[in-house]
Structure formats: C-alpha cells, structure tokens
Chain A
C-alpha cells in the first residue's frame, strides 16, 4: 500500500514538472492537465509499484535524507567535482598520468549506498568505478596514483574519493 502511494505521488510530481506552463491554475498548470495527471499517475502507480519500491525498505522517505542529499550535491560534491575537473584539465594539457586500478573498502552495507558512492566516484573526474565484488569493495580506475599508493593492497579511501563514503553512509544508510 505504501509502495502504491509513493509511486503515485512520485509520478504525479514528475508529470507536474513536465507540464508546467500549460495554463494559469495554481500559477502554471491548466485544470485539464491536473485531472489527466491524477488519472495517469494512478494507472502508472498501479502497474509499476513493485519495481520502484523493490526492496521493501522505506528509509529514503525520510525528508532529512533528502535535505542531506541536497546539501551534499551543492556543497562537498560540487566542490570536489570542480577541483577534480581542473586537475584533469591539467593532465589533458600536460599528459602526465600514472593510471591504474585500485581497490577500496567503503564498508557500506546497502545496495543503494554502494550505487550512490560509485556514481559519485564516477562523476568526479580522475576516478572511475570499474567493478564491485560480493563484499561491496569497489575497484576504481584512478588516472593519477600518488607515488607509493600502488603498493597498498587496499587504497586509502580518503585519497581516492575524499569524504564521499561518509556522505554516502549519512544519506543512503
């Protein structure tokens, strides 16, 4: 039942975002679009509720996690992304690279947490997640490994992705 309601609300918000500007009801929508949106959302929710809420765990409904996600997106993540982009720009121009695949142990328990961290790592230039194993260890292709770091069996997580693992734990677990 919760899965059905969550899917309907999510679909309806997506519909509202896509049809904004169609009229002047409540500012941006026409009444016809709203009525049609309610019907379509209920149909889509009834069909696809089993796919969106597959795990049966509703911890992501907590608004605090959404707030933390927004803070993370505009704060540490955007800053790290900008810094890494300038670093990769420097490597593109000079051609100084020391590539390799390192292993990190983020110690995350849930699938969503690992997905969150892997996507953050891949969106930050310089690091690219290649594979994941059964113990949720990530294999990361790193474009410029610092001297000496390649000798460690498990690379220093702070050096690979900064505070991303901590944020992934806060937001997604």
Chain B
C-alpha cells in the first residue's frame, strides 16, 4: 500500500522533470543551453522512473514473489549506472564538438574559451 504511493510519487517526479527537459529544449536559445535541458533534466527524470521500477520489484519480492522481481531490480540498477556514466560523457562530447566546429554560445556574458584559442 505504502509502496504503491511511493511508486506513484517517483513516477510523477520523473515525468515532471522529463517534461521540463522537453520544454527547455524548445525554449532555450542555443546548443549549449539546450544540452542542459535535454541531457540533465532527463537524467534526473529517468533516475526517478527507474527508482519506481526498482521499488516495484523489491516490493513484489518481499510480498512472496519469485526471484524474477529481484532480477528486474538488478537489471534496472545496472541500466541506471550505465546511464549515469554515459550521459555526461555524451553531453561533454557534443558540447566540445559544437565549440570546435565554431558554434559560439548565444547571448553569452563571458567566453573564456575564446581567449584561449
């Protein structure tokens, strides 16, 4: 019963942040600020939706379910770990590639990287 409420709360938080990521992608002016919305808000949202799956699996297992529930939880944790590892690397690679190919940050108040190159 408590687990049901917890799962709903996790899913709502996750979908809220994923939705905000989509709105940010449409609203922000250039590639860097869009990367903020598109990669980070969605990581946080996906973390919470995955947490809901883990909670569901552990809850079913504790209520006398078979070990496939534990398997589901473990695999979801592995998916979250790889998401947390690959997401910043991908965002970093896109940002660096964009800067190298000459995209300047729009409306920027300061750009220390320009001085360097």
Could you tell me which A residues sit within 8 Å of B by CB distance? 17-18, 20-21, 28, 81-82, 84-85, 88-89, 91-93, 95, 97-103, 118-120, 122-126, 128-131, 133, 139, 141, 143, 145, 150, 153
Contacts and interface: CB of A to CB of B under 8 A. Distances in A.
B12 interface: no
A125 B109 contact: no
Interface residues of B, number: 45
A96 to B, nearest CB: 11
A102 B20 CA distance: 26
14 contacts: A85-B40, A88-B36, A88-B41, A89-B20, A97-B33, A118-B92, A122-B40, A122-B87, A122-B88, A123-B43, A125-B44, A128-B92, A129-B92, A139-B116
B15 interface: no
A117 B114 CA distance: 22
B108 A99 contact: yes
Interface in B64-117: 67-68, 70-71, 74-75, 78, 84-85, 87-89, 91-92, 95-96, 99, 105-114, 116
Question: Which of B95, B106, B107 neighbours the largest number of chain A CB atoms within 10 Å of its CB?
Answer: B95
